Amino acid sequence: MNALSDVQFAVAIVNARQIRGFAKSRGKLAKTDSIDAEILALFAQANRPAVRPVPDPAQRQLQALVVRRRQLVESRATERARKDLAADSVRPSIEALIEHLSQQIAELDGQLQGLLKQNPSWHKHDKLLQSVAGVGDVTSAMVVALLPELGTLNRKQISALVGVAPLNCDSGLKQGKRQIWGGRAAVRAGLYMATLVATRFNQQTKRSLPQHLREAGKPFKVALVACLRKLLCILNAMLRDGRPYIPTLAAEGQT
């Protein structure tokens, strides 16, 4: 993808599941390089997927740091869980690894903040995002790196891109269960944790928990995803308008 973009080829990013489903719809069950090339060409001709700009080298570097930080955090969590059940003979080794991982994470945090400050646009977005209770420097860096479209799409488009737009599953008189699907899992996971904090300290987000869902006995996560979608739309509007979080505007639904 990056190599094609570097030589000025237009690039469209498509979920591999869609391509495979398209192949099956045309009776292509086998999979070879030649079949894949044919299916990709037919898919592009039939669906005309939108061409999206590929991240530039600076954006790729920021994304790499964010992804690496998440990997180290997951590794540290695994070691911490392992430590509780470890024998005394191996516990010092685990503790040393946890300390090393923590140092690596701290170093990456410094690099991330340095990159954000070097880029005026990123620095501005970082400040705007952190004006919302529940969004800290880690979440802000993740959003800037992995969701550069934030502020350029409408609320429905950004919700679908992240994967928090409920999808219908109806047929005739039957109304199936709505559920979210697809999207950018890393962004969704990061915003999920930010939403947990926001529902405690951000009154506007807290009030956006749909009361009727809770009264109807819906699972807590259903209400929390609704809050996540609300928070995402607020962040999108903030970057679109270039202004920090304003509780009165959020209360009026101007997102």
Could you state, in order of their start, the residue ranges of all structural domains in the chain?
Answer: 2-47, 57-118, 146-251
- 79 Cβ contact partners less than 8 Å away, ≥ 6 residues apart: 94, 97, 98, 101
Convert the pLDDT of each residue in 84-123 to its tens digit. Answer: 889 999 999 999 999 999 999 999 999 999 999 999 999 9
Instruction: Please give the pLDDT value at position 57.
Output: 87
Instruction: Please give the pLDDT value at position 250.
Output: 55
Distance CA 113, CA 9 (A): 32
Instruction: Please give the pLDDT value at position 214.
Output: 63
Rounded to 5°, angle at Cα 68 from 7 and 76 = 170
Which has the closest alpha carbon to 125: 251, 235, 248? Answer: 235
Instruction: Please give the pLDDT value at position 247.
Output: 73
In the block, residue with structure tokens 């109807």 = 216
Instruction: Please give the pLDDT value at position 255.
Output: 53
Instruction: Please give the pLDDT value at position 61.
Output: 94
Instruction: Please give the pLDDT value at position 138.
Output: 93
Instruction: Please give the pLDDT value at position 209.
Output: 57
Instruction: Please give the pLDDT value at position 50.
Output: 81
Instruction: Please give the pLDDT value at position 208.
Output: 54
For residue 126, the SS3 value is helix
Q: What is the pTM (predicted TM-score) of this model?
A: 0.79
Instruction: Please give the pLDDT value at position 227.
Output: 84
20-51 as b/e, with b when 16 or more CB fall inside 10 Å? eebbeeeebeeeeeeeeeebeeebeeeeeeee
Q: In the chain, which stretches have pLDDT less than 50?
A: 253-254
Instruction: Please give the pLDDT value at position 34.
Output: 92
In the block, residue with structure tokens 């999920």 = 192
